[in-house]
Amino acid sequence: MKSEARSVGLPTTDWAAHAEQELKRAGHRSSAPRSAVVEVLGRQGCVLSAREIADELRADGRDVGIATVYRALELLDELHLVQRLDVGEGTVRYEPAHPSGEHHHHLVCDSCGRVSSFEDRDLERAIAHLAGRLDYQVGGHDVVLRGACPACSSA
């Protein structure tokens, strides 16, 4: 099978190291708070909100101001090192973006709100083909499927 729902969480290999490197290359200093944010993102691998990141850091005993978390995420987003995901519940989530360009999309459960991911070559192909036909400079895309996750639909 080419595509299937799975719980969020990619291999992550060394996204964190890559991100640090890109930050440096873009002329940014390294700092403990920002590195901590990068590390948490890399460790979790899945969609996280700014608050979740801050909470995670606090649990680790590394208090980082929420403003700093937002700033780090904004910066990472500018450098295309993270992917923003807004599923419409008022909070934006972020996840590491792999430089390979390989990416996935999301399934959002309407009842429990849980997010999972999938990837599908055919879908990517359809989008790429479509983008070529549009009179538009397409740079990226997001696909969100909504429905009931296995747990909720069986309950």
Instruction: Tell me which residues touch DNA (CB under 7 A).
Output: 24, 28-34, 49-51, 63-68, 70-72, 74, 90-92
Contact residues for 146 (Cβ-Cβ < 8 A; gap 6+): 107, 108, 109, 110
Retrieve residue 113's tokens: 């709100």
- Cα-flanking dihedrals φ and ψ of residue 141, to 5°? -155, 155
Give the one residue of 63, 78, 102, 110 binding a second copy; rule: CB under 8 A.
110
CB-nearer residue toward DNA: 37 or 107: 37
Of DNA, a second copy, none, which one sits near residue 146, judging by CB under 5 to 8 A according to partner kind? a second copy
CB of 143 vs DNA, minimal distance in Å: 20
According to the binding rule CB under 8 A, does residue 137 interact with a second copy? yes
CB of 149 vs a second copy, minimal distance in Å: 6
According to the binding rule CB under 8 A, does residue 131 interact with a second copy? yes
DSSP 28: P
Of DNA, a second copy, none, which one sits near residue 138, judging by CB under 5 to 8 A according to partner kind? a second copy
Of DNA, a second copy, none, which one sits near residue 135, judging by CB under 5 to 8 A according to partner kind? a second copy
Check: CB of residue 30 under 8 Å from CB of residue 53: no
Beta-bridge partner residues of 7:
116
**What are the angstrom distances between the C-alpha of 81 and each of 2, 21, 107, 155?**
26, 11, 21, 38
- Name the nearest CA neighbour of 91 among 115, 119, 68: 115
Check: CB of residue 19 under 8 Å from CB of residue 35: no
Of DNA, a second copy, none, which one sits near residue 31, judging by CB under 5 to 8 A according to partner kind? DNA
In the complex, which residues of this chain contact a second copy (CB under 8 A)? 1-5, 84, 86-88, 92, 107, 110, 116, 118, 120, 122-123, 125-127, 129-131, 133-150, 153
